[in-house]
Amino acid sequence: MKNFIQSLLLLIAVIVSTTGAQKEIYAKEGQDITLEPTSYPANSYVYWYFEKQDGHQLAWLNPLGGKGFNEKWKNRLSLTGASLVIKALQEDLFGTFVCKISDSITFKPLYLHIMVEKSASPLLSGDYLSLTCSLGSVPQNTAEIYWLSPQGNREGNKGTVYIQARSEHHGQWDCVVKKNANEKKFPVSVTVVDLAPVPSHQYTSTDSPLTIPCSLISHVSWEQVKKKEIEEVQWHFAPKLSSGTLSDNPEQLFSLDLEKLTWKKGKDKGLSPVYNIKNGNLSLTKSKATVEERGRYTCSMKFKDGRTLETTVDVVVLEIIAHPKAELIYGQQVNLSCSTGDQLPNDMKLNWTSPKTSSYISYPTHITVPEVGKKDNGKWGCELWQGGNKLTSDEILLKIGEHGKLSVWMLVIICSAAVILLLLLVLAFIHYRRRKVQFSRSYSFLFNHTELLVQLYELPLCVCLFVTHISRKRDSSGINSASAKSTY
């Protein structure tokens, strides 16, 4: 695996006065640095040297305001009074600076140690991250140095961090230089290409939408992913079998065209990708879940070096089933079962909600209403809880019809069918007789039997009307009885 080395190089200015007091100044590459003597007596000559006293002279200032700079450094140095200003600090200024302020009384040396931050490059999750933060030798009382991770945790030993990079290491690291009560932080940005962590289980119901998350961690662009030589991005699905186990043969749902940044559909499960790939969103969605979505989903990114980043989510779909059905007639028994397709863990439970006036017999995973009535008409709900958190819920609508209404219609249909069948039999009989007798006698037969035919036609109608009347009378007495039971 590749190593990522990020060296944070600091500037430490130690100003030594005639009393021996020191003041430390910290900075980093790219900043403008001002080195200011502790005092600047009037009518003094100021000389700035590099490496040592009387070494390479960088700048000078006389009491009349005249000043000058070394030709090599003149575009990067300036003087503000006796203070030396270094513009956009760079690594080539590592070393020691000496300031000499001379009059008849004082001489003040200034020691300056510079280390410069080097540029960063993206890491692929699994690469080794090496961070080094160090100071040059300081005359006395070396400061404490350590790193703070993006989560604010103290990391590393003596200013050095060497770890295998993961998504939690992405973000801003701070090198902390601490001495006595003084503390200075120097931020370093670390980019780790990885998929964002997702929950191991996604809970939904047949009454709710479904989203299966997969995305790059924040502030990682698709261009940075391409730099790591991405080879393929795919979604796979292992359905939950009736035995409760997962299939050993996952189905490919989607694969990403890396040139066009469009998804190619594999096995159609009714899911749709979120088309926001450049922003790192690779999630799948569906407007309403079904039990067919139960199973394990894997989002994977494969790179040319053989490494694969992936996230895995188990989708749990809650469902309510009404037996025999959700549309019932007065007095029927109904069983409502609520299930995820698996046995619930000990820390999970189901809660039922029902119309306020309803009464039922409750069991761990189902409820029974022995005789449904109008009070049971409406929405019934089932909630899945874990501890104090509601994970998901489902609803079903029970429709309770009037008692006996369906039976009357069935009787009417049966009677009508009987009439039609009888007419067909009569016509068949007439046709048969016509083949046995002469034409004139056929007419005579039909005329003589007309009254019989009418009676045969009216007979089933009378029977149907009688049965309907009896059924309605029974319905009326049943409803009055139920009302009396409810009042009681």
**424: how many CB neighbours lie within 10 A of its CB?**
10
Q: pLDDT tens digits for 318-329?
A: 999 999 888 888
Please provide residue 471's backbone torsions phi and psi, each rounded to the nearest 5 degrees.
-65, -40
**DSSP codes joined into one string, 384-427:** EEETTEEEEEEEEEEEEEPTTHHHHHHHHHHHHHHHHHHHHHHH
**What average pLDDT does this structure show over 28-55?**
74
- The confidence score (pLDDT) of residue 485 equals 32
pLDDT at 159 > cutoff 60: yes
CB of 253 within 8 A of CB of 235? yes
In tens, the pLDDT along 299-309 reads: 999 999 899 99
Q: What percent of the chain has pLDDT over 90?
A: 30
Chain segment 230-259, per-residue pLDDT in tens: 999 999 999 999 888 899 999 999 999 999
Task: Give residue 33's pLDDT.
Answer: 80
* Whether the predicted pLDDT of 455 surpasses 80: no
- Mind listing the pLDDT tens digit for each residue in 179-221? 777 788 888 888 899 999 999 999 999 989 999 999 999 889 8
Q: Which pLDDT value is given to residue 18?
A: 39
Query: Under CATH, to which class is 324-401 assigned?
Result: mainly beta
- Going by C-alpha positions, the residue among 178, 475, 186, 206 that lies closest to residue 322 is 206
pLDDT score of 104 more than 50:
no
Domain range summary for the chain, segments of one domain joined by + = 29-114, 201-315, 324-401, 405-487
The two three-digit tokens of residue 253, written as one number: 């749902």
Q: Among 2.60.40.10, 2.40.160.60, 1.10.150.80, 3.50.50.60, what is the CATH number of 29-114?
A: 2.60.40.10
Q: What was the pLDDT predicted at 459?
A: 53
Same fold flag, 29-114 and 201-315: yes
Out of 86-100, 158-172, 284-298, 398-412, which region has the weakest mean confidence (pLDDT)?
398-412
Mean pLDDT of 434-463: 53
At the topology level, CATH places domain 201-315 in: Immunoglobulin-like (2.60.40)
pLDDT exceeds 50 at position 115? no
Q: At what angle do helices 450-487 and 439-448 cross, to 10 degrees?
A: 40
